[in-house]
Structure 1
Amino acid sequence: METGFRTIKTVDASEIHIRDPFIFPHAAERKYYLFGTTFADGAGDKDPIFEVYVSEDLAVWTGPYVAYQPPRGFWGVRHYWAPEVFEIDGKFYMFASFKGGIGENRGTGILIADHPAGPYRPHSDGPVTIAGSECLDGTYYEDEEGQRWIVFCHEWTELYEGKIKALRLTKDLKASVGEPVTILNAADRPWIRLFGDPRIEKTGYLTDAPFLYKARNGELLLLWSSYSVPNYSESGLGGYTVAIARSASGRIEGPWTHDEKLFMDRNAGHSSLFRDFEGRLWISTHYPDTPHGQERPLFLQVEEKENGLFLPE
């Protein structure tokens, strides 16, 4: 693994400041690799990078190592957000969000490496999300017919009513093809509240963090995050949340329905699922979401029942 200018330390998860944590379990090594949003905008004379921590038990971690150092002229110049890593055809692919230069859009691009920790290098020719649109948080899914997809958020800052969409990917994962499939519109959820940013004088319905999971009952589940109105759920926190949509057909094309009960309402979100080396299912999320600067990775075991996923009480 590559070292950078940051000091490598061995720490507990509670000491790692990270948003959007994603775990890649590498069975060949019996090691877990933790990616997320850390050094997203650079500082001083240091460019933004993606970093990685490594652990054998999900409790004690060593890092940060450098997973991706952008080469000169790379299209993404800031907002290095939400990396996710997948093993495909014997290689490791990182789906990650970047903001382009002045006058260029945000999008998800695809990087490639020979090892899950990197070093990653550019693979796609720029973003594979919608050209000319503000998109982020792309995740990967391959359906039962072998079609490869990117599922992503179409930003509320552009649409007002944020959406989660999907695009087919070419087999080599270098580009997307065809027209986008809309999975959900954020504004029609009874629990969601408007999100605002006074700096850009806009409000809208935010969508974050799509992640797909094929359930044992054949349904395709979509985890995603936004902000809830106060007192919607039992806890009534009204903060960052995780919701679930489901496709009973098991297909990206749906039709999609929505669980009225929030999956997680505890000022935590941007979640993904993984299995440990004993086969147990976990959710990886950051907690708390606010105040900013306090975010830490949180790993909770998840129970799958016939009618869906549940967090143990």
Structure 2
Amino acid sequence: MEVGFRSVKKVKRDQIHMRDPFIFTSHEEQKYYLFGTTFADGCGDKDPIFEVYVGDNLEEWEGPYVAFDPPKGFWGVRHYWAPEVFEIDGRFYMFASFKGGIGEHRGTGILAADHPAGPYVPHSEGSITPNGWECLDGTYYQDENGERWMVFCHEWTQLHEGRIKAIRLSKDLKTAVGEPIEILNAADMPWIRKFGDPRIEKTGYLTDAPFLYKAKNGELILLWSSYSVPNYGDEGLGGYTVAIARSKNGDMTGEWEHDEKLLMDRNAGHSSLFRDLKMQLHLCTHYPDTPHGSERPFFIKVEEIENGLKLTEGL
């Protein structure tokens, strides 16, 4: 694995400052690879990169190693956000968000490598998400018909009412195919509150972190994050949260329904699911969401129940 300018150390999980964590479990190697948003905009004379930590359990890690060091002229120049790694056709593909140069919007592109830790190289022809759209947090899903999809967020910063959309991918994962379809409009949710960013003097309904899971009952479950009104969820925090949408017929294009009950409302979010080396299902999330600087990767055991998912541990 490639070493960057930061020192590689043995660290505990709660010593890793990271947003948007994602675990890739290598059953072949009996190891975990931890990715996330860490060095998103570079520092000093160092350009942004994606990093990876490696461990054989979920509490003790070694890193950071360099997973992706962009080549000169790469289209993404900042906002290196939310990498997710999937094994597809014997190779490893990283779906990650980048902001382009002046006059270019943020989007999600695809990188590729021969090993889960990298080194990754550009694979897609620039951003997969549509040109001119402000997007982020693309994730991968292959349906039962073999269709390959990217599900992503069309940003509140452009639309005011953030959306989650899906677009088909070419078999080689290099380009989008056809037009996006809409899964949800954040403003329709009864629990959601407007998000404000004083740095850009804007407010809107935020969408983050779609992640798909095919449940045992055939439903297609979508996890996603935003901010809830106070006193709505289990803890009533009115903070960053995790919601569930579901396609009852299990199809991406099916009619999507939205759970009134939040999966988690505890100032934690941007969640994905993974199975550990013993095949136990976990939620991977960052906690807490605020104050900024305190975010750490956090893993919660999950049980699949008849009508969805149930957290079996607290924060």
TM-score of the alignment, normalized to the shorter chain, above 0.5: yes
2-side partners of 1:78 and 1:212: how far apart?
26
Question: More displaced, 14-23 or 233-242?
Answer: 233-242
Match of 2:246 in 1: 246
Please tell me whether the aligned partners of residues 234 and 264 of structure 2 are also in contact (alpha carbons under 8 angstroms). no
Residues 92-122 of structure 1, C-alpha deviations (whole Å, 9 max, x = no match)? 0000000000110100000000000000000
Asked if residue 11 in structure 1 is aligned to residue 36 in structure 2, the reply is: no
Q: Which residue of 2 aligns with 1:71?
A: 71
**Counterparts of 1:251 and 1:130, CA distance in 2:** 22
Structure 1 residue matching 2:14: 3-state secondary structure: helix
- Whole-angstrom CA distance in 2 between matches of 1:134 and 1:297: 26
How far does residue 198 in structure 1 lie from its aligned partner after superposition? 1.8
Partner residue in 2 for 1:25? 25
What SS does the corresponding residue of 1:223 show, helix, strand or coil?
A: strand
Looking at structure 2, the residues matched to 218 and 255 of structure 1 have their Cα atoms a distance apart, in angstroms, of 14
Q: Distance in 1 between matches of 2:59 and 2:197?
A: 35
Moved over 3 A (4+): none
Q: Distance in 1 between matches of 2:200 and 2:308?
A: 39
- Aligned pairs for 1:214-293 (under 5 A) are 214-293=214-293
Deviations 1:167-198 (A, max 9, x none): 00000000001111100000010110001112
Return the alpha-carbon distance in structure 1 between the equivalents of residues 234 and 121 of structure 2. Answer: 45
Q: Residue type of the partner of 2:101?
A: G
State the AA in 2 paired with 1:57: N
2:114 is aligned to: 114
| 1:1-313 to 2 correspondences below 5 Å | 1-312=1-312
1:201 shift after superposition? 1.7
* Structure 2 residue ranges without an equivalent (≥5): none
Q: Structure 1: any 5+ residue segments left out of the alignment?
A: none
Distance 1:55 1:181 in 2: 38
Cα deviation 1:12-62 (Å, max 9, x = unaligned): 100000000000001110100000000000000000000000010111000
> What's the CA shift string for 1:106-158, capped at 9, x where partnerless?
00000000000000000001000112110100000000000000000000011
Identity %: 76
Cα deviation for residue 264 of structure 1 reads 0.6
Distance 2:199 2:300 in 1: 35
Q: Which amino acid aligns with 1:107?
A: G
What is the CA distance between 1:271 and its match in structure 2? 0.3
Count of matched residue pairs: 313
Q: How far 1:234 moved relative to its partner?
A: 3.0
Q: Aligned Cα RMSD in Å?
A: 0.6
**Secondary structure of 1:157's aligned partner:** helix
Structure-1 separation of matches of 2:65 and 2:202? 37
